[in-house]
Each structure stands twice: as structure tokens, then as C-alpha cells.
Amino acid sequence: MGGIPIGSLVLNGQLVSYLLFGTASWLVLRYRLRNSPERGLILSLASNAFWLWLIVWKAGYVLFHPAEAARQPVSLIYFDGGERGEWLAGLAAAVYLGLKVRKHRMSVRAAFDHFAAFVFAGWTAREALLAVAGGEPAWFHAASAGFSAVLLVSLLNFSTRSDTPSGVAHAIWFSLGHAFLWFLVPDRSVWFLSFGKPQLVFLLAAAGLTGWVWLDGKGKRGGFRAEEK
């Protein structure tokens, strides 16, 4: 995403889109937790994880382009770590959240529900911005925003009617749906067979989450111990 012109000022479009992601995510999570006694803690963890992600992503420019950053420190305002920085930032945020969930002895499935709501809300807002701000193809970003919004509403409604965590199931559908959406982009770059890199990432995420659900269910039913006997 390029710059967003506002009069004579040109804003960093990528940074604006991620700030919108964080704002929308925080507001939706705040609404979802309106009656929860853990509201303050969870909102604090989510906010810290987001800002950690953003800082590591921006600082990734120094890690991957140290010479350029040393010559022109002001370049940090305009540049970031790119795709590698996003992965590194995601790893840092995941480790932070994992440690905090363990420290506060939170249910992993319940914590993932909050994470899913956070991501769906931010994804919807960011994709909607890309659709109206010139992201190509615009129809893809609009479809992604709409699909994510449907999953978000479903997750929020489900959480009000049941105490059973459903974030993992919604995340699986999110991943599979976006893997399918990419098939509709004719000029996508292909990495393996007819799959592009984003599709492979989404499919691996869906497979990992499905495996988690299967192993978790088998463990709770005592399946492993039964098979050993």
C-alpha cells in the first residue's frame, strides 16, 4: 500500500492501515469483554502485543538494512522491515502472549477466542481500507473484509450463547476461506503446484489448528492412554 495523500501531506499508507487494524481490534475486544472481570488484563495484553508487533516491524528495517539505517536514521520514519519484519514481529508478539497466558494461568482456548476476535476485527478494518484506498484487486480486499466481518459477527454471537470456545473453529474457516479467495486472483504468483505463498500459509494454519483440535480432543477423551492399553 502506497502513501495516502491528505492535502500536501502524504501519510505512510502501510503504517496507517496497521494503526487502523490495532484500533478496530481494541475497540471490538473491549466491547466483547464488557462484562468480563478480566477485561483490563486482556485488553492490556492485547495492546502490548500489538505495539510490540508494530515496533519490531518498524525496527526490522535496522536489522535487515543496517547500513542504510546508519547512513540515514530518518529513513526509519518512512521504511520498515517489510515481509520479513512482519514475520519477526509476529513471532515476538506470539512469544509475548504465550508467556503472559502461561503466567496468568489463562485457558489457552479461551485466550485464542480473544485473539481470533482481535484479528478478525483488525483484518476487516484493514481490508476495507485497502478496498477503498486503491489496493489491488479492490474486489479481493472487499471480499476479504466482508468474509472476515461475517466470521467476527458469528464469533461474537456464539460467545454470548455458549461458554465453549469457538475461536479455533472460526480461525480454521478464516484460513480456508482466504485460501480459496486467492484462487480467484488470476495473476497471483504461484509457489507450489497452483498455490501461491499466501494460500500455503493459510492452508498450513488451517492444518495446524485442525491438528490442535484433534489432539486436544483425543487427549481429553483419554484416547492416547486407551490406545496404549
Handedness of CA 153, 104, 87, 173 (dihedral sign): negative
CB 39 within 8 A of CB 46: no
Higher pLDDT: 224 or 45? It is 45
Q: Which residue has the higher pLDDT, 134 or 177?
A: 177
At 141-163, the pLDDT tens digits run: 999 999 999 999 999 988 655 55
Dist CA 211 CA 150 (whole Å): 24
Backbone dihedral region of 115: left (phi > 0), alpha (psi from -120 to 50 degrees) or beta?
A: alpha
CA-to-CA separations, 63 to 14, 50, 58, 68, 110, in angstroms, rounded? 19, 20, 10, 10, 35
Predicted confidence (pLDDT) per residue in 73-129, tens digit: 877 777 888 889 999 999 999 999 999 999 999 989 889 999 999 999 999 999 999
CA distance 129 to 156: 22
**pLDDT digit string, tens, across residues 126-139:** 999 999 887 778 99
Angle at 29 between CA 146 and CA 217, to 5 degrees: 85
Q: What tens digit of pLDDT does each residue of 14-34 get?
A: 888 999 999 999 999 999 998
